A and B are shown apart, each in its own frame.
Chain A
Amino acid sequence: MSAVAATPPTIRKTALNPVHRQMGAKMVEFNGWEMPVEYPAAIGCGIVNEHMAVRTGVGIFDVSHMGDIRLAGPEALAAVQHISMNDASRLAIGQAQYSALLYPEGTFVDDVIVHRLGVDEYLLVINAGTREKDFSWVYKNVRESAHPFDCLVENLSDDYTQIAIQGPKAIDLMEKLSAAFVEVPAKELNAPFQTLKIEADYKNLKFYWITEGRTMAVRANAQRLFDSKTLIGRTGYTAEDGFEIYIPSDEAISAHVWYGLLAAGKEFGVLPCGLGARNTLRLEGKLPLYGHEISDTINVWEAGLDRFCKMEKAEFIGREALEASRKEPLKKALVGLEMIDRGIARDGYKVFDSSGKEIGYVTSGSPAPFLKKNIALAYVPPAQAEIGNTVLVEIRGQGVKAQVVPTPFYKRPKKS
């Protein structure tokens, strides 16, 4: 059994880091950030339980490591249209869409969720590991190109604590917190706040829409009051209904909201969830992860993200290359695999055809706690991508049988 590595000195921490440690979470380094991978079995957690909580009840995640770039000004839309492959002109105020920033080669800088906050105001939420790269890329292409766009480009990544509340009961939890102040049991004797309310209108908040809520935290003798607008998106990375809230990255208010969500969510079976469950949940839903299914050496067609790429837009970075590559046969395609024989396919494992010839590799692989299967995403030649095709995954020197299956592996049940 291998020992735990020491944390490198330059590691970054979110405002909720003390809370994760206080709860006894197993911490790991992820893309330069110290994040919880799972919470203790002693409090009913662990990757499997956390995963199941999100599929059947509700789970909360600290996703503050993700980045936030705000574009605002008369040419904000034009700027977004230039750097993003989806069509942001379709967005009403309060609407969001999945998209990607591309290199001129049609490969990925990052995937992104574009939110329209106002008439000329957009928020791009980006991955943790690509915060600096993305911001430099956006700033360069919007403000420093031959024809700069007339808008601000702001890096708001450090300003927010971002918490994801995910699962079929996430709406019940948020509505409870909106209806009345909730008591939040204090972890310290002189905790700055005692009650919490996050007011928002959820009646009209459809999936992939955002709204402005109001977070209020009070101390009983009313000596301390926190009252601030809060961006709330009905978005997530778990293939479930859910929300992502953006509160100030102040440690005290972040901890209070976190514990408040856990207190209010107890009756719905809420669990704190780490990156381990975040990965198994998104994998079941075939949601891509930068550096795995998408990267700077993979293009939009190979990744199968055609429907988010609006080629009818006259111009965006990468469009020309995509126009050309669209005419050529694909060299590789992303497929879903399900293990037939005993074994777990993992990231980077090689894939062979049934005759033993190497044909590709696993981009992400893991046990799927809800499906109770071992699944993977892999790049293989299009000829091998047919549903039902049998391949071999190399696991510790042995070829283990797997089958190409339809994706996503999991789709949340429609509400009746």
Chain B
Amino acid sequence: MSYPTDRKYTKEHEWITPDVKIGITSYAQDSLGDIVFVELPKVGTELAVGKTFGTVESVKAVSDLYAPASGPVTEVNGALATAPENVNKDAHAAWMVKINVKDPAELNSLLSAADYEKFVNEEAGH
């Protein structure tokens, strides 16, 4: 599996693009299985880096979403409310929220596509 190089990644399997959309990786959706429910914050909610900002639920489990960066939510992908399976179909296209990044320096500590792939391979190989 390779990961799009146009974005940054977290160890909790979220990604963040330059136009500041946030979602979860294809590794995450594969681990979760069929996604049946996505709970996202309202527009205006302040995300704090490293803190939970929503949940994604598979049939069996609830998983927290962790913010890759801080800032207010400017847009929410409403389609995921009725079609959560979009995350399974194409996790890298199924953005969840868009934010205004308060401190761009936060993005520097995130993983590149190559580093994330390495991290995932190590984790998967345990």
Does A396 count as interface, using CB distance less than 8 angstroms?
yes
A1 lies within 8 A of B55 (CB): no
B123 lies within 8 A of A3 (CB): yes
Interface residues on B, range: 20 to 34
Q: A1-B66, A343-B37 are in contact. List 19 more A-B contacts (CB 8 A).
A: A1-B13, A1-B24, A1-B31, A1-B32, A1-B64, A3-B123, A4-B31, A41-B30, A47-B33, A47-B59, A47-B60, A276-B60, A280-B59, A342-B81, A344-B36, A344-B57, A344-B62, A346-B62, A396-B55
Whole-angstrom CA separation of A276 from B59 in the bound complex? 8
Whole-angstrom CA separation of A367 from B62 in the bound complex? 12
Number of interface residues of A (CB under 8 A): 23
Whole-angstrom CA separation of A366 from B37 in the bound complex? 11
A1 lies within 8 A of B63 (CB): yes
Task: Report the minimum CB–CB distance from A258 to chain B (whole Å).
Answer: 22
Contact of A1 with B33 at beta-carbon distance under 8 Å, contacts A47-B60, A48-B59 already known: no
Does A79 count as interface, using CB distance less than 8 angstroms?
no
Contact of A367 with B33 at beta-carbon distance under 8 Å, contacts A1-B12, A37-B60 already known: no
B126 lies within 8 A of A6 (CB): yes
Whole-angstrom CA separation of A41 from B59 in the bound complex? 14
Does B113 count as interface, using CB distance less than 8 angstroms?
no
Does A399 count as interface, using CB distance less than 8 angstroms?
no
Task: Report the minimum CB–CB distance from B1 to chain A (whole Å).
Answer: 12
A-B pairs with CB below 8 Å: how many?
53
18 contacts between A and B (CB under 8 A): A1-B14, A1-B24, A1-B28, A1-B63, A6-B126, A41-B30, A41-B88, A46-B33, A47-B58, A276-B33, A276-B59, A276-B60, A280-B59, A344-B37, A344-B57, A367-B36, A367-B37, A369-B59
Interface pairs A-B: 3 shortest CB-CB: A47-B59, A48-B34, A1-B13
Q: Which residues of A contact B63 (CB under 8 A)?
A: 1-2
Q: Which residues of B contact A344 (CB under 8 A)?
A: 36-37, 57, 62
Q: Which residues of A contact B58 (CB under 8 A)?
A: 47
Does A241 count as interface, using CB distance less than 8 angstroms?
no
Q: Which residues of B contact A2 (CB under 8 A)?
A: 63-64
Q: Which residues of B contact A280 (CB under 8 A)?
A: 59
Does A244 count as interface, using CB distance less than 8 angstroms?
no
B59 lies within 8 A of A367 (CB): yes
Whole-angstrom CA separation of A342 from B39 in the bound complex? 9
Task: Report the minimum CB–CB distance from A153 to chain B (whole Å).
Answer: 36
CB-CB nearest in chain B for A2: B63
Whole-angstrom CA separation of A115 from B81 in the bound complex? 47
Flag A365-377 by CB within 8 Å of B: 1 or 0 each: 0110100000000
Does A310 count as interface, using CB distance less than 8 angstroms?
no
Flag B102-125 by CB within 8 Å of A: 1 or 0 each: 000000000000000000000100
Whole-angstrom CA separation of A344 from B57 in the bound complex? 9
Whole-angstrom CA separation of A189 from B36 in the bound complex? 41
Whole-angstrom CA separation of A41 from B88 in the bound complex? 10
